Amino acid sequence: MKFAPPKLDKGQTCSWTVTVPDGFYAKLVISAKAMDRDTYFQTIDSAGNLAKTGNEKMKPYYFVGPKFTIALSSNAPAAFGFKIIWLPFPNIDIGYSGVTEAAEVLNATGIIYKQSIYSRGGIHLLPFPQDPTNYFSLRSALVFEGGSFPGCNYVGNLYQMYRSKKPYSFSSEGSIVVFNLAASGNSDKLLIQDTEYVQDIAQFVELYPEIKTSYTETINGGKLKSSLVSVSGANFKLTKVKMDDEATMAVYYGSPTVGTIVKNYTALEINKAVPLNFQGEVLQFVVSSGKADFTFDGWK
């Protein structure tokens, strides 16, 4: 038997608080469309992370216990529907790894996995979705503080981290667990660095290879450092850098440390040296301060 979806009149709100049993997670799918700019759909997970949207197109959310909330606030008539499925956590072995100067790159969502990651100087996470304009697959990759699962504290998912443009980071010795609950088949990646190496960098901008004649990427850390970073493993042909005269640019294969530096350039030196080719699993261009425009030849 089919039923019409529930509807709200103008000015009405409603919410649901959903309990998730121990050993289970909840998969939520919503179908809804706001009729005006002031109507929104909202979810709040067990760590207090809030997600607010005007449209939902059946892209799954994933929640852990003890509870999460779904809410709708309407400034115009709205129709919506949702489905919740409670599922046991996948019964898989946990992997263990540590973070070095070279950094670590995980395939974030391609397969179902559970990985414990340790670092002496803290942990810094930066997601790289396969498609920066369509990154819903990152919702299934959950992050927990602690070295084992169960027994660790949920802090959020990679979708939230990427959307906020605020990398997840803590500065003390310890471990996290990344648990991906659904295999997307995508090549979404997760860059894991020791916080000690990147704590003075104010901005990270993801660098992707592009098939164009040339393209430009911009970073701007203001008075602080900023980094243009790639985890693609592609070859990048740098043809021009426009930055402040007093700024410097350092190239690293891995996290920015003395042991991974390729070379340090002034503004004058880099533009005398180009074109230059760089290729590494983790490649970073770190600028000491101010705005910098990097121009690359397209990927052939």
> What is the CATH classification number for the domain harbouring 246?
2.60.120.290
Residue with tokens 């997601």: 127
* Whether 179 and 239 share a structural domain: no
Residue 1 domain flag: no
50-64: burial string, b at 16+ Cβ within 10 Å, e else: eeeeeebeeebbbbb
Residue with tokens 């503080």: 145
User: In the prediction, which pLDDT does 1 show?
Assistant: 44
Helix (H) or strand (E) holding 124: strand 123-128
Residue 2 domain flag: no
**What strands, in cross-sheet order, belong to the sheet with 248-253?**
201-206, 225-230, 283-287, 248-253, 261-266
Residue 291 domain flag: yes
* Whether 165 and 234 share a structural domain: no
* Whether 100 and 193 share a structural domain: yes
* Whether 172 and 231 share a structural domain: no
Residue 51 domain flag: yes
Determine contact, residues 123/194, Cβ cutoff 8 Å. Answer: yes
206 has a pLDDT exceeding 90:
yes
7 has a pLDDT exceeding 70:
no
Residue 251 domain flag: yes
* Whether 194 and 206 share a structural domain: no
User: In the prediction, which pLDDT does 219 show?
Assistant: 98
* Whether 187 and 146 share a structural domain: yes
Number of domain units in the chain: 3
10 has a pLDDT exceeding 80:
no
Q: What is the mean pLDDT of residues 217-232?
A: 97
* Whether 218 and 249 share a structural domain: yes
Which one of 198, 213, 246 terminates a domain? 198
Which one of 33, 63, 88 terminates a domain? 88
* Whether 209 and 134 share a structural domain: no
* Whether 149 and 164 share a structural domain: yes
Residue 118 domain flag: yes
Q: What is the mean pLDDT of residues 29-52?
A: 83
Which one of 198, 226, 246 terminates a domain? 198
Helix %, strand %, coil % for the chain, to 5? 10, 50, 40
Distance from C-alpha of 270 to C-alpha of 150, rounded to nearest angstrom: 50
- Provide the residue range defining the domain that includes 181: 95-198
CATH of the domain at 117: 2.60.120
Q: Worst-scoring range by mean pLDDT, 137-146, 206-215, 261-270?
A: 206-215
* Whether 264 and 291 share a structural domain: yes
- Percentage of the chain modeled with pLDDT above 70: 92
**Where residue 189 falls among pLDDT bands split at 50, 70, 90?**
very high
Residue 35 domain flag: yes
* Whether 134 and 67 share a structural domain: no
56 has a pLDDT exceeding 90:
no
* Whether 48 and 74 share a structural domain: yes
Residue 32 domain flag: yes
> 141: which 2 tokens?
């990759």
**pTM for the complete prediction?**
0.91
